[in-house]
């Protein structure tokens, strides 16, 4: 630093240098040498961006300038020259003898880059002092040998240096640089303080908990004069940066140009960050690994994969055209056929199995067939020979849709979870046989119906230690005795605004109840009903719980909608988070297409707890993770939260070691029990090893039956099934 000061003072000296000669001596830092001989070393500090700060920063910078003068010849034109390697190592070794610095690659790189700046400054100082006149033009006569600096420069080196500086190419570059730097639009006004130490000073004065400041904040403060006034044009740039920072994501900031470069309308040069000073780069600021160019082999593999995808799309398009052609040739035989209400299927909504016949005949998923008069698909008539189907479960993740969804550009069945598609009649099978078998088993288990259908059955006393699902049995009897025994029958359950942030109605069909009775995969209707049970039985009237825990609707945010309508999903999550005034934990049952898992999100602390009963990682769900991260960042921006730039992308994801399922159908039951236990523990923070009170390797069947009993009891209590 002292060397820089010496250089800058000499370079900006008054024109009449003959009358005002430099009176100070040569900086050789004798005090450091004396302390080194006494085994005294100096501690140095680094900020969050790995820049040199602290009380000994100036001392180290000045010492680096002295070492550069001693070990690097002034004739060295390129700092990257390999011939300087031994001299650089010598400088680094000397610094380690007097300063306590970690002997690491990143620290050595920083110090040697700073040494390179000192070397350029030293050469510039000599040029301005001895080779130029008062008007800053190169002199024609031979300059005198600077005897004052004889300990650093030999006469031979001086002659070679003068010849280098008188080269015409160098003179052109020098004139261009002088013109560019002669009248800066936004002049730096902090002298030798530097951005890193300016940031340290601001943080100390404001007593802030932050570890760093955004570049545009430092840029503005560096242009405030001693009187404390801020020029209008500087304030305008700062205000524009503040506006841009609310609309540009961190990824855009680092991948393209920073908000400061955008506001100034100038390019961002590699190897540095505008407004942060020496040593700070995009890589160090955003903690991103350096990207490398792909190899030729990787390029060829990517090209082959793209060619295969194009070929597959061509085949799908050809198949779609053939199906359209065949459909157009079908004749309408009756008015009933024209409104897509097929006799072979029961009217209304029925649970069904979905098959495909190509390339092999196989079961690919489960869902609900909607056989209603005048039904439309995305405001368009259904193709002849097809019915409207909602997809609930995908059994073949690579299965293609029989007819691609033109509106959402969906071609895979797994991307249609939670949405409606057209399905061929001959590949839809109603679960009538399953229902019939279930009813027969139910009648054998309970006996004949009671004469008074409104009375619940009296179950026999269980054996000692045995569990009898009496509410399940009672609810089965009610269903069998009501209109819900008919396939396609539904019940509506009102969901208050406090539950999901908006008022809605949940639809419960007979097939949903059958899934509970027969312990099958659960749909979103059952999960939401259990959430309503948790709200009514635990949170309603309990301000502590209702203010601490909230829910996210799986109907508005799921795998299909994230892929099809990411903006609406993000808007809903942000709006949900904005309802927080204190720390809340948002419980979100997430359906990835064929699996339920639970996310517990604390948006204020920016922590996401990941509970997956199949021991998977959140990296397996990139669309979901990107949505959550983006929503938290937008929420942070809307509440105008100040987050250190080094932590702006470090949203904490925690994988909770929760109980694991041992089959392929229990995930929905596990998610419901997770939510119940979290609310019951009344803790915002979930331990990584899960709650000690509920810690186990696997839930037993009895623990899952207890959840089902609560559901069935709630159905009965709410009188959703009446006889």
Q: Assign 3-class secondary structure to 390-420.
A: EEEEECCCCCEEEEEECCCCEEEHHHHECCE
pLDDT of residue 467: 67
pLDDT number for residue 669: 95
The predicted pLDDT at position 347 comes to 77
What sign does the dihedral 398-399-404-410 (CA atoms) show? negative
Please report the pLDDT score of residue 292 as a whole number.
Answer: 57
pLDDT of residue 404: 82
Asked whether the beta carbons of 629 and 650 are under 8 A apart, the reply is: no
- pLDDT, residue 659, reads 94
pLDDT attached to residue 1: 40
List, in sequence order, every residue forming a beta bridge with 348; answer none if it has no partner: 371
Handedness of CA 626, 659, 550, 504 (dihedral sign): positive
pLDDT at 11: 38
Measured CA to CA, the distance from residue 483 to residue 480 in angstroms comes to 8
Q: Report the pLDDT value the prediction gives residue 407, as an integer from 0 to 100.
A: 66
pLDDT of residue 186: 81
Q: How far apart are CA 584 and CA 588, in angstroms?
A: 13
Mean pLDDT by 10 residues, the chain (723 residues): 41 40 59 82 83 83 87 88 88 88 86 88 87 82 84 88 85 80 78 79 79 80 82 82 70 59 74 74 59 69 76 64 47 36 67 79 82 74 85 84 77 84 84 43 39 32 55 84 75 89 87 88 92 91 88 90 88 89 88 90 93 89 91 86 58 93 90 94 92 90 90 85 62
Tell me, what's the pLDDT at 672? 96
List the beta bridge partners of residue 609.
Answer: 600, 654
Backbone angles phi, psi at 501, to 5 degrees: 90, 0
Of 408, 391, 410, whose CA–CA distance to 400 is shortest?
Answer: 410
Q: Where are the beta strands (DSSP E) in 260-385?
A: 348-356, 362-371, 376-377, 380-381
| 3 state DSSP class of 507 | strand
Residue 571 is predicted with a pLDDT of 92
């Amino acid at each position: 630093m002292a060397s820089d000061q010496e250089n800058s003072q000499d370079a900006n000296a008054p024109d009449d240098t003959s009358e005002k000669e430099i009176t100070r001596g040569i900086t050789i830092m004798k005090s450091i040498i004396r302390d080194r001989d006494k085994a005294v070393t100096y501690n140095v500090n680094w900020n969050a961006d790995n820049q040199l700060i602290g009380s000994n920063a100036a001392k180290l910078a000045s010492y680096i300038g002295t070492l550069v003068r001693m070990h690097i010849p002034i004739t060295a034109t390129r700092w990257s020259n390999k011939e300087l390697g031994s001299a650089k190592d010598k400088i680094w070794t000397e610094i380690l003898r007097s300063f306590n610095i970690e002997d690491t690659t990143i620290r050595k790189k920083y110090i040697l880059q700073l040494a390179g700046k000192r070397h350029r400054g030293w050469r510039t100082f000599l040029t301005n002092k001895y080779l130029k006149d008062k008007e800053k033009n190169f002199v024609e006569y031979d300059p005198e040998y600077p005897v004052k600096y004889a300990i650093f420069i030999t006469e031979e080196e001086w002659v070679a240096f003068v010849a280098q500086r008188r080269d015409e190419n160098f003179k052109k570059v020098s004139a261009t640089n002088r013109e560019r730097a002669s009248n800066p639009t936004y002049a730096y006004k902090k002298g030798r303080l530097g951005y890193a130490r300016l940031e340290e000073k601001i943080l100390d004065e404001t007593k802030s908990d932050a570890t760093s400041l955004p570049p545009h904040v430092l840029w503005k403060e560096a242009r405030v004069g001693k009187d404390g006034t801020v020029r209008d044009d500087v304030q305008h740039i700062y205000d524009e940066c503040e506006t841009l920072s609310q609309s540009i994501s961190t990824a855009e900031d680092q991948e393209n140009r920073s908000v400061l470069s955008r506001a100034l309308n100038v390019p961002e040069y590699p190897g540095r960050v505008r407004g942060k000073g020496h040593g700070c780069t995009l890589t160090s600021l955003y903690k991103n690994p350096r990207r490398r160019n792909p190899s030729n082999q990787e390029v060829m593999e990517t090209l082959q994969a793209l060619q295969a995808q194009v070929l597959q799309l061509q085949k799908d398009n050809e198949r779609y055209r053939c199906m359209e052609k065949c459909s157009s040739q079908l004749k309408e035989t009756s008015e009933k056929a024209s409104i897509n209400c097929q006799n072979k299927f029961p009217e209304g909504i029925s649970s069904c199995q979905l098959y495909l016949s190509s390339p092999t005949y196989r079961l690919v998923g489960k869902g609900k067939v909607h056989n209603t008069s005048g039904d439309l698909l995305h405001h368009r008539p259904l193709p002849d020979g097809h019915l409207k189907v909602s997809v609930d479960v995908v059994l073949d993740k690579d299965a293609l849709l029989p007819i691609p969804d033109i509106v959402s550009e969906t071609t895979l069945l797994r991307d249609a979870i939670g949405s409606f598609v057209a399905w061929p009649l001959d590949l839809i099978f109603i679960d009538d046989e399953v229902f019939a078998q279930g009813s027969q088993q139910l009648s054998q288990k309970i006996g004949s119906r009671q004469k008074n259908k409104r009375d619940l059955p009296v179950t026999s006393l269980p054996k000692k230690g045995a569990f009898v699902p009496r509410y399940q049995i009672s609810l089965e009897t009610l269903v069998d005795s009501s209109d819900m025994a008919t396939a396609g029958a539904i019940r509506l359950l009102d969901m208050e605004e406090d539950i999901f942030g908006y008022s809605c109605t949940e639809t419960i069909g007979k097939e949903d109840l059958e899934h509970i009775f027969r312990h099958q995969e659960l749909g979103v209707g059952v999960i939401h009903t259990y959430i309503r049970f948790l709200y009514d039985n635990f949170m309603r009237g309990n301000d502590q719980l209702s203010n601490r825990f909230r829910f996210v609707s799986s109907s508005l945010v799921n795998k299909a909608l994230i892929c099809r309508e990411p903006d609406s999903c993000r808007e809903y999550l942000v709006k949900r988070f904005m309802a927080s005034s204190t720390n809340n934990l948002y419980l979100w049952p997430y359906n990835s297409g064929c699996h339920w898992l639970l996310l517990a999100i604390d948006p204020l602390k920016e922590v996401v707890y990941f509970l997956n009963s199949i021991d998977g990682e959140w990296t397996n769900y990139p669309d979901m993770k990107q949505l959550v991260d983006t929503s938290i960042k937008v929420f942070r921006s809307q509440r105008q939260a100040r987050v250190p730039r080094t932590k702006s992308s470090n949203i904490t994801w925690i994988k909770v070691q929760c109980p694991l399922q041992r089959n392929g159908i229990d995930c929905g039951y596990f998610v419901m029990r997770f939510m119940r236990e979290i609310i019951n523990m009344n803790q915002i923070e979930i331990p990584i090893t899960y709650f000690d009170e509920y810690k186990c390797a696997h839930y037993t069947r009895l623990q899952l039956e207890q959840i089902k009993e609560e559901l069935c009891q709630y159905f009965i209590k709410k009188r959703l099934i009446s006889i």
